[in-house]
Structure 1
């Protein structure tokens, strides 16, 4: 983690500054079709295999897209109905993108991280995009060489509002599960879940679009702004349904206020309103990364854990736009508002499209409705196969989305429970994705996303074939470095309550953080008298330092194999269970960390349980050959030798087995 230099491409969005050059502005406006087609370079970027060059291609596409849309809004600003239709297309396009992402379980199939091998529809998407661009630009622009018409108000205030609006739409509404995960707080479920309740977000956005078209006089009042602020407050500070009600209010307000704010910006200098606006948007994008990445960036500690500051800043920027709108009382604006209130044919077209999009979403939601009838792989042997994997934000070493490759390995390793670390993708820089939705539904598992994107961690998630009876989320002491997330969950495994902990420790450099975290987690693990296991990233050497806090009388935990000296990050610990197998599987190019797995047998009787708790160390750690354990206790033979697809048992080249 840290600054690499490629972050500069975030500034590709400020291309509308080029519209300050009058000859260039005239050229772009007169050739909007060409400009929009050039922006599709970002869709074609999947053809570029080298990650750096693919990033350059995407950067060019983003720059042309922002430039084209700013020029489009400016060119149509002299005709109210046509401008309204362009804004409708823009916001309805956001809605359609969110619906497509829901159908593809939070991935957009035409993104440059997608290709045929991981479910991409890039070629189809490009063809549709070309057809859409040709139809969208079929009419000649209405304004090209004319000087910018100043309609009163402040270009600066308008630019500020555009920055906040674009950030709000992108960070909160580009995926239907984002705000749901903001209010997620573990089991039992006390709020919305993404694959069941996400339609409410779509409905709120649809209501906002309709309100923005038919009730602009109401939407631009300070009363409506106050309601939006209430929604933002509820989303920021509350969990469960109350927080989500706030999310729905904010979703409706953001889509509704888009119409007057974009229309207002279009009638001023586009270089200022959109160029500066996207610069402010970039500031907010970096701000909402800095609150998590504070340990790796200059000035980061100043904004540490302050998502509330981001929300306040966003709402203040929107308030700047409302102030600008309410201050404009000249006749030109009154006439413009009068023209917008008349009946326009495009409204019927877009309202019909909204209806079709909602029906499409409901169809996808029906297909995704959870069955909740998941079965472990070796129920007849009462085996739990558990794994820990640091997935590095679901991007492989070549910058392709990696969840399908992850699914294949998890399935072939027959994991019943898996802890995923570095799993929080609900930020703009990660595409507002959620890999756990795809994995849980495709593998047939229950899922706890872990601490939400507003909890300022890199993520820890839990997937389980066994029902999750209860789960709590913890943010461990981190006075200096990044926050350390943990999940403490209780599973119903074959009628026995079994606790599982998923944990990501702090950085190597932060010694005091890691010491405090080890003490906290040891006490947490020691607080339960149920059979338990830990799936973790500890950053310590075996038998040294903080290891002896995690594996201690306080925690009651035992190491899965204390003779495995070649470990630093990932560890599995257990107590009250029969540990019967342990394996390490190479990562291929999926991530930068291997998959570790262990097999446990859940005691079937009280006598078995007493024995599992009280067995001596020598008996507990006695290793046996694979032929000495039942078939259901064995790891798959698929990964012996050279393995498959770059995955093989490594370090000790085969699984280890134990029997006591």
Structure 2
């Protein structure tokens, strides 16, 4: 131990001194003892109580979580809090000494790092002294905040550390911390959502590992503080002979070549960067909305409508070939930025066709604004990097907006106040950002010599492949999870909460594109990304998803290189060609599933591999083009370095903030309550089938809210949704099931994913889904017919439900083969079974007699209902008590059919109808749908439900 000097005889003398390493020792010892003492006491005194959770106890669970150990019992809770309180002193001293060690004149980041450390310490106090028993929500909020603040604390500490032992250990413990978070989240979901026995014990080990890595990371400060001496000095008569407090007595190998992660930070610069981010957010919102509006028309025409030509509005940059247009938009960039807001304001236009044309105008201005934003940007050092980074962050912002609003962008023109839109707010902010837009880059006279540009074709190809992949795969955080989804039990990622992981990967890609520019534009990086694309396409569950994450990081990282390459060529040629190729990819992306309705469709039938391969090949051409470009713009000197540090600082601020926001949204959206059926006492199971027309109502508004309300008021425990796969560019990359399932408390099986080339079938259930299998029925000519075969736990009884969409009327052989396939599925099931289906047949005729046959053992819910063509409910070995048909209002073109079944009684059913008064009240359908009904929904055809003996 360092010597303790007593010099009390003269002013200015050192009263006491202590080597700085003892601050680190004290912090490590007290923090470690606080947790270990609580663990030992808890395991000794209350073992079975603290290992028990909301679902299981010993022996399924046999190791306690940190929260249960430190917060649930006396005396371990008190002992822990006492020693954590004692740890506070060394903790604040550790933050202060860390700042002193790294503070340098003009360095801004050590101050920010110290502030993060202080806030992080207070959040630690939050989850320590507000235990999960006191207030579970606030305990979790403080803990999540603490973990999120650990990101800038550890990354910042690594960045300002001198080369040597301390830096190596900090990297080791930081990597250990972040890697452990992955299994922590996985096993928490296994416990909370899937209720896997023992999962919480594994989660607890991960949680304790985080504690270890956290304490160990801070203990590394001993290597820094050993060069410091803390002194207590008599200030009366202090002399200059004593060294200033906090100065190291030995030299350190400081990283003077890097002034810190937030060097160059300024409020004005951050404001300009934020404006570019929001303009990018508007660009992506307008561009991604166009496909949704176009899709409305072929739905009603059942084929090419002619409105598809509006897709070509994105090639508007070709107009920049007119010199006057180029000069106008270059001198007044606000014009194009305000113009793209036409696409946001389009929600004010009532008619579907007029609204589409309005959005098309917005897209034209948006692509022109995008092109002019980067024109000749490389003539200023790192200006293109700054704008490209803002462009990527704006894209992430649009993804997070959809993550928060159930896969709908709140400023899309299919949104309005009634269905959750924030159009007015988005428009107002857009006007402010557009008016404040500036163009601080070179003009038309500052031309890059052609010998240094390479070919505009390669740049256009790369940009086309990049924008297409961003749009098709990443414009919604649920798309990648659904590419690898294969049903229950859950063995892969879910849109919530794992959509946040996709967003984290995007953020990592953006930061990598700034700090590792040479690496990400290499052929090696492209090869790794291509392997990731192959893995995504070829594998399901976590394997495929990891491949998708690799591709995600690369796509966001390569944005600056591709936009810098494109910016040195004339915008009309480069961006015009890029968006033309992008449009071709969009059409191909639709053709793979719409092959039965489009000219030349069979050429791309079910060939997503070709579309993805072409897009990656275009990116490869872009990488080649980047390699052809010789040094453009100044990149040396003090000003250039400052510009780079500014971009890096802004990128760090935004990606950290957006990652934290994504994590908070994921936490908020994870279901914490077990779904409960509507009538459990009577053991009623109410089912329904509804063809929802891809979630666009007759007036071209997103219809999830209206569908949710109808399903809720009908008290449907199980509902099959058809024409529900909207995970494509032309459909908005949406997930129609999210809001319905979360608001109503239902389990959901999305059905075959977007890479399975169907129009979609989904299952929502108040009952646990024990198992589900996805089927693609034989379709040699027409559209693919999806089916979900699920086993539900209905009041303790295994009930099978099949959701099925048959092919179109024209393909007779397809429908015959599909009928045989579904009949085989039903025949091979040993459980009671309900078929919720779209059959395209008349009652008692043709294929109907295969569905309802001795082989299938199925019965029609009402054989006397002659007025059916598409939707049918069939059943067997379960007691049917009621059946109703409910009008669609203006939501779609197909009604809701629904039936009621009773579990645990004699399943014998007859077709004798009885008055409602003769059945128990619990069996009754809601009265609000009688007569004129509610919100346009009413009992129709029979004008009332039918009840049976």
TM-score, length basis structure 2: 0.67
Determine which of 864, 870, 875 is the counterpart of 1:569: 870
Contact 1:536 1:572 in 2 (8 A): yes
Contact 2:340 2:362 in 1 (8 A): yes
* Post-superposition CA distance 1:14-49 (Å, at most 9, x none): 011111222221111111111111110011001001
Cα distance in 1, alignment partners of residues 348 and 859 from structure 2 = 49
Alignment partner, residue 484 of structure 2: 183
Using the TM superposition, name which of 281-290 and 69-78 deviates more: 69-78
Alignment partner, residue 625 of structure 1: 915
Whether 1:281 aligns to 2:582 is yes
Bigger relative contact order, structure 1 or 2, given CA contacts below 8 A and separation 6+? 1
Cα distance in 2, alignment partners of residues 590 and 419 from structure 1 = 16
Alignment partner, residue 120 of structure 1: 421
* Post-superposition CA distance 1:468-515 (Å, at most 9, x none): 000000000000000000000000000000000000000000000000
Deviation at 1:345, TM superposition (A): 1.8
Alignment partner, residue 549 of structure 1: 850
Cα distance in 2, alignment partners of residues 256 and 194 from structure 1 = 23
Deviation at 1:337, TM superposition (A): 12
Cα distance in 2, alignment partners of residues 424 and 494 from structure 1 = 30
What secondary structure is seen at the aligned counterpart in 2 of 1:473?
A: strand
Give the aligned length.
646
Whether 1:171 aligns to 2:461 is no
Deviation at 1:79, TM superposition (A): 1.2
Cα distance in 1, alignment partners of residues 342 and 618 from structure 2 = 31
What secondary structure is seen at the aligned counterpart in 2 of 1:80?
A: coil
What secondary structure is seen at the aligned counterpart in 1 of 2:378?
A: coil
Deviation at 1:124, TM superposition (A): 0.7
- Cα 1:229–1:273, aligned 2, differ >3 Å: closer, same or farther? same
Determine which of 3, 9, 15 is the counterpart of 2:316: 15
Alignment partner, residue 34 of structure 1: 335
1:80-99 to 2 correspondences below 5 Å: 80-99=381-400
Determine which of 700, 703, 713 is the counterpart of 1:402: 703
- Cα 1:589–1:145, aligned 2, differ >3 Å: closer, same or farther? farther
Larger Rg: 2
Alignment partner, residue 309 of structure 1: 610
Alignment partner, residue 438 of structure 2: 138
What secondary structure is seen at the aligned counterpart in 1 of 2:413?
A: coil
1:328-367 to 2 correspondences below 5 Å: 328=629, 330-332=630-632, 335=635, 343-367=644-668
Cα distance in 2, alignment partners of residues 337 and 447 from structure 1 = 57
Deviation at 1:396, TM superposition (A): 0.2
1:474-489 to 2 correspondences below 5 Å: 474-489=775-790
Contact 2:472 2:729 in 1 (8 A): yes
Alignment partner, residue 210 of structure 1: 511
Deviation at 1:326, TM superposition (A): 2.1
Contact 1:14 1:278 in 2 (8 A): yes
Contact 1:148 1:269 in 2 (8 A): no
What secondary structure is seen at the aligned counterpart in 1 of 2:788?
A: strand
Contact 1:426 1:434 in 2 (8 A): yes
Cα distance in 2, alignment partners of residues 338 and 46 from structure 1 = 48
1:386-401 to 2 correspondences below 5 Å: 386-401=687-702
Alignment partner, residue 676 of structure 2: 375
What secondary structure is seen at the aligned counterpart in 1 of 2:880?
A: strand
Deviation at 1:465, TM superposition (A): 0.1
Cα distance in 1, alignment partners of residues 774 and 699 from structure 2 = 32
Whether 1:538 aligns to 2:839 is yes
Deviation at 1:344, TM superposition (A): 3.2
Alignment partner, residue 433 of structure 1: 734
Deviation at 1:152, TM superposition (A): 2.4
Using the TM superposition, name which of 266-275 and 238-247 deviates more: 266-275
Determine which of 237, 257, 262 is the counterpart of 2:563: 262
Cα distance in 2, alignment partners of residues 190 and 621 from structure 1 = 42
Deviation at 1:275, TM superposition (A): 0.4
Contact 2:789 2:802 in 1 (8 A): yes
Whether 1:421 aligns to 2:725 is no
Using the TM superposition, name which of 566-575 and 424-433 deviates more: 424-433
* Post-superposition CA distance 1:296-344 (Å, at most 9, x none): 000000110001111111110000011112234x454795999977633
What secondary structure is seen at the aligned counterpart in 1 of 2:379?
A: coil
1:459-498 to 2 correspondences below 5 Å: 459-498=760-799
Cα distance in 2, alignment partners of residues 6 and 148 from structure 1 = 40
- Cα 1:242–1:293, aligned 2, differ >3 Å: closer, same or farther? same
Cα distance in 2, alignment partners of residues 486 and 92 from structure 1 = 38
- Cα 1:108–1:405, aligned 2, differ >3 Å: closer, same or farther? same
Whether 1:600 aligns to 2:890 is no
Cα distance in 1, alignment partners of residues 713 and 499 from structure 2 = 31
Whether 1:636 aligns to 2:930 is no
Contact 1:234 1:243 in 2 (8 A): yes
Alignment partner, residue 62 of structure 1: 363
- Cα 1:465–1:268, aligned 2, differ >3 Å: closer, same or farther? same
Cα distance in 2, alignment partners of residues 85 and 216 from structure 1 = 13
Contact 1:81 1:344 in 2 (8 A): no
Deviation at 1:554, TM superposition (A): 1.3
